[in-house]
Structure 1
Amino acid sequence: MDTQPLRWLPPIAGPAAARLPVRARYLGVSTLLFDDGETAILFDGFFSRPPLREVLLGRIAPDLPRIRQGLQRAGITRLAAVVTVHSHYDHAMDTAEVARLTGAQVVGSSSTAQIARGAGLPESRIQVVSDGQAVKLGRFELRFVRSVHAPTAFTGGEISAPLVPPVRAWDYAEGGCFSIVLTHEGRSALVQGSAGFVPEALAGQRADVVFLGIGGAGPLPRAYHARYWDEVVRRVGARRVVPIHWDDFTLPSDQPFAAMPMLLDDVPRSLRLLGEHGARDDIDVRLPPAWEPFDPWAGLAMP
């Protein structure tokens, strides 16, 4: 994949990783792990990654061997919460199974809750959140801000009853989107899982680092990319952008991550535009290492 002129955040291993106040791992799509040694939070938790043929022509369901393999590879045994940005299959299909295996709460929209109910997760393990709500998890705080999906064909809709797989991919309706601001003792990050925005919705929010979803944005007009940057990155005063949701999630995660094929997206163009915007505004744009722990705030002056 052509990522020029972007650089990669360095992975950090061994004792150095253990000393970080917060460690992050990028596990593909918008699946992100944040861990401070006491509390671990997983965004989305999507590991099944069914092949394109099944997505288009068949029915899909969580793949338990792949989920277990992904959790083991990421070193995940216990989670405080699995938090979903919206309810499409590439974000929320595995959520309940990940929660079941790790003891986590499922936190998300009412549609995400229907996925968890369909999997048989008890109500005591399901938390439905709304616009503006804050959730405290150990020393982490998450604030949920209403957002929208990138303007692609597969958007909108709600899941109004428990969803029991196997089902068609489009049965995983979007169910509303969230921008999620994470704070932890002076550190802040925004997880923007989809390349959509609500004008001024993030006014008053602050984040040093933005994990910026770019899935489906490649073919969109340059003016859209510029507005997305302004409404999400500049709006929160970010000093670094980490692109996410650029990999081909129809390939299994035991293969190296590759960009979505040009037939479905134009990832190199999205990355080039991010590089241009970052250079203009003096905002660092870095790609995340796959699966390895890293410090999203590395090189930024922190309290």
Structure 2
Amino acid sequence: MSLDYRPLCPALGAEVRGLDLAAGVSDALFNEIRELWNRSNGVLVIRDQQISEEQQIAFSRKFGELHTLQGHTVTKYLHPEHPEIYRVSNKVMNGKPQGRKGAGTYWHSDQSYEKTPAMASVLYALEIPPYGGDTIYTSMYKAYDALTDTMKAFLEGLEAEHDFAVAQSGGFRNESVTTEQLQKAPPMTHPVVRTHSETGRKCLFVNPGFTSHIVGVSKDESAAILNFLFQHCTKPEFHYRHVWQPNDLVIWDNRCTMHYAVMDYDGLGDRLMHRCTAIGEVPLKPHAAQAA
């Protein structure tokens, strides 16, 4: 079949229409979905889905191996029956949180602190408040492309350290992070500019949520470089802001995007979302010939 879709904004994002994932996804159809995902710079919105946990897991697994109990640093928000699903929610039932409240309220790329950071995140909206709770995505392709050639050449020679401990003063400041959890996620070094393994395009790969410093330069130099990059990457012209609708399924590519969950809906209603995450590859450095 030929997918019916429309672009969502100039920077990134496409919306697929008339697709029913519950009816099954053949290899041929999935290849079309993945190709459109890549063409849309890493954000794909599939509306009006009625899928079970098992169906979400099966679809997500087509992108690759999924994070489960062993792959998560914070495990208490995993689905009790399906460890492939991480629950994001402000909902409380019988005094027990149904997921992590306020998850992702900072610019980040999922699990960039791991040796093989997340590739595809597949988030399904079961319940949403009447308004608010948008998610903002930014294109790290566009951010890289907008740099001068001089800056590109400079950055392509750099590496940055990504550390879950950075989140203790940021996105996880209200969470109790144990020494054991930190030991499970030692710092990892990745290229500041990576080559996307499927599209071959270059993009920036740093984020305020988990990137601690640039390797091989002074603390002040590192701060100057990262502060510039964080401000540059989050310019509005690189954004797509997703206004959630019930039963939306949104797939984003952590290799070439960052995202920010807007926490402005507290007291307005329940928000319950299920996320599956496909593990990616070790980030690729820019090809030597291109870097030269």
TM-score by length of 1: 0.27
Specify which structure has the higher proportion of strand. Answer: 2
The structure that has the greater radius of gyration is 2
Bigger RCO of structures 1 and 2 (CA < 8 A, at least 6 apart): 2
TM-score by length of 2: 0.28
